[in-house]
Amino acid sequence: MSVVGFDLGFQSCYVAVARAGGIETIANEYSDRCTPSFVSFGQRNRAIGAAAKSQVVTNCKNTVQGFKRFHGRAFSDPYIQSAKSKLVYDLAQMPSGSTGIKVPSYFTDTERRSVIDAAQIAGLNCLRLMNETTAVTLAYGIYKQDLPAPEEKPRTVVFVDLGHSGYQVSVCAFNKGKLKVLATAFDSELGGKDFDDILVSHFCEEFGKKYKLDVKSKPRALVRLYQECEKLKKLMSANSSDLPLNIECFMNDIDVTGTLNRGQFEEMCAGLLAKVEGPLRSVMEQAKLKKEDIYAVEIVGGASRIPAIKERISKFFGKELSTTLNADEAVARGCALQCAILSPAFKVREFSITDVVPYPISLKWNSAAEEGLSDCEVFPKNHAAPFSKVLTFYRKDPFSLEAYYNNPKELPYPSPTIGQFVIQNVVPQASGESSKVKVKVRINVHGVFSVSSASLVEIVKTAEGEEPMETDQAAKEDEVKNDDMEVTTSTEDGKQEKKTDQPPQAKKPKVKTKTVELPIENNLHWQLANETLNLFVENEGKMIMQDKLEKERNDAKNNVEEYVYDMRDKLHGVLEKFVSEADRDAFSLKLEDTENWLYEDGEDQQKQVYIDKLAELKKLGQPIYERYMEAEERPKAFDELGKQIQMYMKIIEAYKTKDEQYEHLDELEVTRVDKQVNDAMVWMNSKMNQQSKQDLTQDPAVRVTEIQAKTKELYSACNPVVSKPKPKVEPPKEEKTENGPVNGKEGTEGQPCSPDKTANEGTEQATAENKLPEMDID
């Protein structure tokens, strides 16, 4: 069972794996732990990661990047429309209306569902969709040995995550074995990409004036400029002097050059740098904390390395920043730790996580008591998550609930709707009164809102003489009334939050009730239909198979090309002595024809065509190569056989001279060994003489396999005879007397074993068996 954490970034991805020794960030096929978030589409297959990024210039129209901000958004979304004009590739509207294909803490319900759908399409079993800042807090806290005890005042730490596409801040309280996120704040329009955009705009303007070039009209030139500006930005983080930007053959075969220093860069980005303090101030206000309450400020994310940003964060809190975490890999490691906690395959130190709801969520419905709409905030901002609440309605007919974010100004896009949930099969009581309907709403571990269940409490008439009884346990809960709706809160583990400030109520007469589960129709905003999702899963499977087939086809083609180059060089090198001049010329011509075919008619052929072409070449080249290998290995094989013969001849000679070591051997068997050795020597000399007369361009007179078989045959026939051990001579037995000891020693054969000793040995054995190793991740 694999336990894996994914950090899916705007620009790059990291994958961490939980193993017996701890958490390890794994490398890709290029031995790099950072995998670019790029996908390139070719005519036959896809390239993903580093292979796709290498095509971003040559195949810019079909190489997709920066799609993290597109999750869960409609094609008509203002952000999509504004971003579309800046992309070098095209966006197309899907039939469902989505632009689809670790999450930021500011991701909404729709965006989270989009990521879960994408994971399902990719064939991943997502145990938990985790906020990036929460993953960082887990990676930070689970290894700390000096956290305060649960009953003590918690340690408060601020985490600042500035990535390529977003800026997130969270405040977390740590105690031993648990963490609680107190508040979060963000700016989804501030990240490393925005600094890159300013640099690109600056040089586009400079090159337009200096070289009369319209850079934005050429997608390929624009992509190259983005790459160079990103490199320049990283260099300016480490150097304050003037730094050059040089691009050869940029446009129209013109080489361009420019210079910039850190001071100029910070002046250009003054507007972006001014936005750094906003989320910091907001998160402190939400958590109602003072700067003195903060134990440490931990920064992660690639863009957090910009000196001006670190300076502003440090100045705001009035303390040095902490960089104990790996700025790039902390999120992936935290996700892998969470996965290990949820997996039964690992034993991890107990550590509970309490996250928060990033936006306030409300419900509205048609009121039964009066005409018009009623609403209620069910999950305020920074409410603990996961969490659930039970809402009680009194209705005679089916009704619908609409979930929405009640503060749309905070959302990264203007659609505040989560979805509609229709409670079906609601009927009045037998008496005609409204039925009591209990609706359970929850925020699950993924941070996704849902109406998880609905039930109708039906009052059952008791038979005459039967004692009434209360079977509806939920009716005993204290409820807070709100118009025609009541609220009961509960945590995910089912513990009720009792309201103790309500006035005591008169004891109600007991009635017999039964609960009927009601069906719920979900109409989620921009949710992929099951049929569409299944179609995408099927298409992804087809593309994976097509990628595999294309890889095999390319491998077959490369094998032909590799064989042509390899044999062409060897025919005039190590293989030259083993092929006649006429055969060499014919084979060289065949190789040359094959090379020309590969770049003409053979450029795009089926896999089997390349396999057949390689077999055709090997039919000519393999005999030559085998003659070379035989000539290389034959001396070694003859040498091994000669050593065997010499060894057995020495043993036979020692036997004949009555050597004490071999005098126990049977004479008949030794004679047989002598004959075997002489026959082997005659065979070897004969074959060596035949081979010495054979030309190297012809097949060998004896093959290496024959020599090895002869060596094995000789060993099997001779070794059992010459290695036979000497017979053992038993010492004379001493007789026992009838009375008294033998040779002055008493026998111990019949003595009973001490019961204490037996008990001790059994206890030690049981103790040893109980000490089993435990696998633990600390």
Place 184 in a pLDDT band, splitting at 50, 70 and 90.
very high
Which region among 1-5, 187-191, 402-406 has the lowest average model confidence (pLDDT)? 1-5
- Is pLDDT above 50 for 227? yes
Measure the N-to-C terminal CA separation of the chain; round to a whole number of Å: 19
pLDDT at 749 over 60: no
User: What's phi and psi for 433, nearest 5 deg?
Assistant: -80, 165
pLDDT > 60? residue 95? no
pLDDT attached to residue 415? 65
**Cα–Cα–Cα angle for 724, 729, 730, rounded to 5 degrees:** 135
Lowest mean pLDDT segment, chosen from 195-199, 278-282, 404-408, 484-488: 484-488
- At residue 669, does pLDDT exceed 50? yes
pLDDT digit string (tens) for 317-355?
A: 999 999 999 989 999 999 999 888 888 888 888 888 999
Cβ 178 vs Cβ 150: under 8 Å: yes
Residue that wins the pLDDT comparison between 497 and 732: 732
Pair type for strands 399-405 and 435-443:
unpaired
Q: Which residues contact 102 (CB under 8 A, 6 or more apart)?
A: 5, 6, 7, 8, 130, 131, 132, 135, 331, 332, 335
Q: Which residue has the tokens 């596409």?
A: 165
CATH topology for the 531-616 domain: Substrate Binding Domain Of Dnak; Chain:A; Domain 2 (1.20.1270)
Q: What's the pLDDT band for 464 if we cut at 50, 70, 90?
A: very low
Q: Which of 22-36, 496-510, 759-773 is predicted most confidently?
A: 22-36
Predicted confidence at residue 658, as pLDDT, reads: 86
pLDDT (mean) for 762-774: 42
pLDDT in tens, 622-641: 999 999 999 999 999 999 99
- How much is the pLDDT for 741? 47
Q: What percent of the chain has pLDDT over 90?
A: 47
Q: Which region among 21-30, 79-88, 719-728 has the lowest average model confidence (pLDDT)?
A: 79-88
Strands 178-187 and 352-356: parallel
CA 113 to mean position of chain CA atoms: 19
Kindly state the average pLDDT of the residues 197-203: 95
Give residue 57's pLDDT.
Answer: 87
Checking if the pLDDT of 466 tops 60, the result is no
Q: Is residue 738 left, alpha or beta, with left meaning phi > 0 and alpha meaning psi from -120 to 50? A: alpha
Q: Tell me which fold the domain 628-721 belongs to.
A: Substrate Binding Domain Of Dnak; Chain:A; Domain 2 (1.20.1270)
Higher local confidence (pLDDT), 464 or 158: 158
Which of these ranges, 93-102, 492-501, 512-521, has the smallest mean pLDDT? Answer: 492-501
Note the pLDDT tens digit of each residue in 579-610. 999 999 999 999 999 999 999 988 889 999 99
Tell me the sheet residues that pair with 399: 423
Q: State the Rg of the chain over Cα.
A: 40
- Assign domain 357-462+511-524 to a CATH class: mainly beta
pLDDT band at residue 715 using 50, 70 and 90 as cut-offs: very high
What pLDDT is attached to residue 375?
A: 79
Task: Give 670-705 pLDDT, tens digit per residue.
Answer: 899 999 999 999 999 999 999 999 899 998 999 999
Please report the pLDDT score of residue 212 as a whole number. 92
* CA atoms 338, 342, 346, 349: torsion sign: positive
Q: In this predicted model, which residue has the larger pLDDT, 27 or 480?
A: 27
Mean pLDDT of 101-122: 82
Q: How confident is the model at residue 65 (pLDDT cuts 50, 70, 90)?
A: confident
DSSP codes of every residue in 209-265 = HHH---GGG-HHHHHHHHHHHHHHHHHHHH--S-EEEEEEEEETTEEEEEEE-HHHH
Binned at pLDDT 50, 70 and 90, residue 405 comes out as confident
Integer Cα distance of 349 and 290 in angstroms:
31
Mean pLDDT, rounded, for 380-409: 86
Domain borders along the chain are: 145-331+341-356, 357-462+511-524, 531-616, 628-721
In whole angstroms, what is the distance from residue 469 CA to residue 510 CA? 6
pLDDT above 50: residue 743: no
306 compared with 93, residue with greater pLDDT: 306
**Over 50: is that where the pLDDT of 665 sits?**
yes
- What percent of the chain has a predicted confidence (pLDDT) above 70? 83
Contact assessment for residue 665 and residue 704, using Cβ atoms and an 8 Å cutoff: no
Specify the higher pLDDT residue, 229 or 529. Answer: 229
- In this prediction, residue 162 carries a pLDDT of 93
The answer to whether residue 51 scores a pLDDT higher than 70 is: yes
Check pLDDT > 80 for residue 506: no
pLDDT at 759 over 60: no
Give me the pLDDT at residue 470, please: 38
Q: What is the pLDDT of residue 525?
A: 79
Model confidence at 195, pLDDT cuts 50, 70, 90, reads very high
Whether the pLDDT of residue 489 is over 70: the answer is no
Fold (CATH) for 145-331+341-356: Actin; Chain A, domain 4 (3.90.640)
Taking 90 as the threshold, does the pLDDT of residue 170 lie above it?
yes
> Tokens 């072409």 — which residue?
613
130, two tokens: 């985790």
Instruction: Choose the weakest-confidence range: 247-256, 598-607, 760-769.
Output: 760-769
Q: b/e string for 92-107 if b means 16 or more Cβ within 10 A?
A: eeeebebbbbbbbbbb
More confident residue, 87 or 771: 87
pLDDT surpassing 50 at residue 98 = no
Instruction: Characterize the bridge pairing of strands 296-300 and 155-162.
Output: parallel
What does 591-641 look like in DSSP terms, one character per residue?
A: HHHHHHHHTTGGGG--HHHHHHHHHHHHHHHHHHHHHHHHHHHHHHHHHHH
More confident call, 21 vs 405: 405
Q: Which residue has the higher pLDDT, 776 or 633?
A: 633
pLDDT per residue as tens digits for the range 524-545: 877 788 888 899 999 999 999 9
234 pLDDT more than 70: yes
Fold match, 145-331+341-356 / 531-616: no
pLDDT score for 312: 95
Q: Mean pLDDT lowest for which of 359-368, 708-717, 747-756?
A: 747-756
Q: What per-residue confidence (pLDDT) applies to 734?
A: 59
Mean pLDDT of the chain: 83
In the numeric block, which tokens belong to residue 90? 């095209």
Q: Which residue has the higher pLDDT, 67 or 226?
A: 226
pLDDT given at position 477? 38
Least confident of 193-207, 492-506, 511-525, 677-691: 492-506
CA nearest to 192, candidates 130, 293, 265: 265
